[in-house]
Amino acid sequence: MEYLNVGQDLPLMEKLGILANSAKYDVACTSSGVNRKGNGVDMGNCVAAGICHSFSSDGRCISLLKILLTNECIYDCKYCLNRCSNDVPRATFTPDEICRLTVEFYRRNYIEGLFLSSGILNSPSFTMELIYRTILLLRRKYRFNGYVHVKAIPGADPELIYRTGFLVDRMSINLELPTAEGLRTLAPNKHRKNILTPMRQIQNTITENKNDLVLYRNAPAFVGGGQATQMIIGATPENDYQILSVAENLYQKFDLKRVFYSAFVNVTGDKQLPALPGGPPLLREHRLYQADWLLRFYGFRAEELLDEKRPFFNVLLDPKEDWAVRHLDQFPVEINRAPRELLLRVPGVGVKSANRIVAARRNANLTFVDLKKLGVVLKRALYFITCSGRMMYPVKLEEDYIVRNLTEEQERIRFGNDGMSYRQMSLFDVGSFDQPVTVTDKIQAAAGQL
């Protein structure tokens, strides 16, 4: 295959700068989902929980060497730095450069592996083949056994996607925008169908492969860490309910491992894009992640959290608190008796603490002091629980009262002087709250403890 034109002979440092910079808006970059012990010969293993290696100045985890193979692109997606009509420096890595960087970074414990995406060079299949060859080289010649996540290029030959799948731990195809409508306006060269078809292909092959693995233990694994995708939030006018329903659908119908949400950052200044003077919609993104967690680990359904009449998340309360105050008839929950599913619905009780409660109450009748030891956040839980029939303080089971208390002490959001309590946020004003997401929120979200 002919390999390449411009931007090849830049110094490595410069290429890395350009191609990391162009990859940074991709958020689907954890190293999770696969447990693979080392084989004693090759370099690398994988840990299912994923390992972060550093955190950049925006507080996001650096786990993988996240780069594009090239930022050349024949497409013209309006939101993208690399769109062909944009005048930016272009660069392209050689496969050897990518392999060397991956291996040398890995042995120094900088990274968990490689995340490789790419602009579309010549054609989708041409690009996919380059990706395939790079990973083949990394696995065979450089004998790298760590985590590899690649983007499948929509519209590429299915055979190439199939072959690549056997070399990588995770594959993802970006949905880009939550609806077909949004895609049409902002990414005219992409079509919803071209995105969903390979997504389905990967899902089907994963299922077949699982059956093969049952039959033949040594069959090679296909995308062992599962499939992921991401959506850009706030570039198009979809509401939270639509977005969350799309995510739920992807989990249920496409068996995705993760759906990621990426608060839109306006880097091209295109007229069709919202200006976002207050910065990217971070709070909105945060609420979506919280809700996503509730779907995956807490047994909630999208339509329980939002509906046509309330299509946006509450700015002040996290989605679980919001649900709880609207369902006070289901509370208080008795800690010493309630089934695990119900415990999981109590604000301030995470998956771990719910499990610990279930284990600990076999030995003793639990008190509020015990709950603290079990990791329950009493500040939030106390309105919704009893221990042996008693509440912690005499509190009113009343919506306004609880909301006031929950929001007062948290002070997690600074908001305008209108003293709003239930104002729904309009689409683009979320960014006007500065840095609403607290560290503990993020850590708790990361640990699945909402």
Q: Work out how close the CB of 353 gets to another protein at its nearest, in angstroms, rounded to a whole number.
A: 10
Of 158-166, 234-242, 332-340, 432-440, which part binds another protein (CB under 8 A)? 432-440
Residue 151 in the binding site for ligand SF4 (CB under 6 A): no
> Considering the complex, what minimum distance in angstroms separates the CB of residue 216 from another protein?
25
Pick 72 or 318: Cβ nearer ligand SF4: 72
* Contact partner, 366, from ligand SF4, another protein, none, Cβ < 5-8 Å per class: another protein
Out of 20, 48, 180, 420, the residue judged to bind another protein by CB under 8 A: 20
Identify the CA nearest to 172 among candidates 192, 195, 191, 155.
Answer: 195
Contact between 77 and ligand SF4 per CB under 6 A: yes
| Cβ pair 105, 65 in contact under 8 A | yes
Ordered DSSP codes for 382-427: TTTEEBTTB-SS-----HHHHHHHHHHHH------TT--SSPPPPT
Handedness of CA 323, 325, 329, 334 (dihedral sign): positive
219-248 residues near ligand SF4, rule: CB under 6 A? none
What Cα–Cα distance (Å) separates residue 344 from each residue in 228, 373, 405? 25, 17, 21
Among 8, 10, 25, 219, binds another protein (CB under 8 A): 25
Residue in 4, 8, 10, 17 binding another protein, rule: CB under 8 A: 17
User: Beta-strand (E) ranges in 12-51?
Assistant: none
Q: Which residues contact 23 (CB under 8 A, 6 or more apart)?
A: 66, 67, 68, 115, 117
Q: Closest Cα partner for 104 from 140, 144, 62, 51? A: 144
- Residue 340's SS3 state is helix
Residues 116-135 that bind ligand SF4 (CB under 6 A): 119-120
For the packed helices 95-107 and 12-21, what is the interaxial angle rounded to 10 degrees? 90
Q: Is 186 in the site for ligand SF4 (CB under 6 A)?
A: no
Q: Which stretch binds ligand SF4 (CB under 6 A): 79-87, 107-115, 318-326, 333-341?
A: 79-87
Min CB(81)–ligand SF4 separation in Å:
7
* The three-state (H, E, C) secondary structure of 189-244, written as one string: CCCHHHHHHHHHHHHHHHHHHHHHHHHCCCCCCCCCCCEEEEEEECCCCCCHHHHH
CA of 163: how far to CAs of 57, 132, 173, in Å?
Answer: 37, 8, 16
Least Å distance, CB 73 to ligand SF4, is 3
Candidate segments 213-221, 227-235, 337-345, 369-377, binder of another protein by CB under 8 A: 369-377
Does 302 bind another protein (CB under 8 A)? Our answer is: no
Answer with the entry of ligand SF4, another protein, none that 77 interacts with (C-beta below 5 to 8 A by kind). Answer: ligand SF4
How far apart are CB 72 and ligand SF4 at their closest, in Å?
Answer: 9
Site for another protein in 105-124 (CB under 8 A): 105, 107-110
CA distance 342 to 345: 5
35 binds another protein (CB under 8 A): no
Is 15 a binding residue for ligand SF4 by CB under 6 A? The answer is no
Name the site residues for ligand SF4 (rule: CB under 6 A): 73, 75, 77, 80, 82-83, 119-120, 187
Name the site residues for another protein (rule: CB under 8 A): 12-13, 16-17, 20-21, 23-25, 37-45, 51-62, 65-66, 101, 104-105, 107-110, 146, 263, 265, 279-280, 282, 356, 359-360, 362-364, 366-367, 370, 373-374, 435, 437, 439-440, 442-443
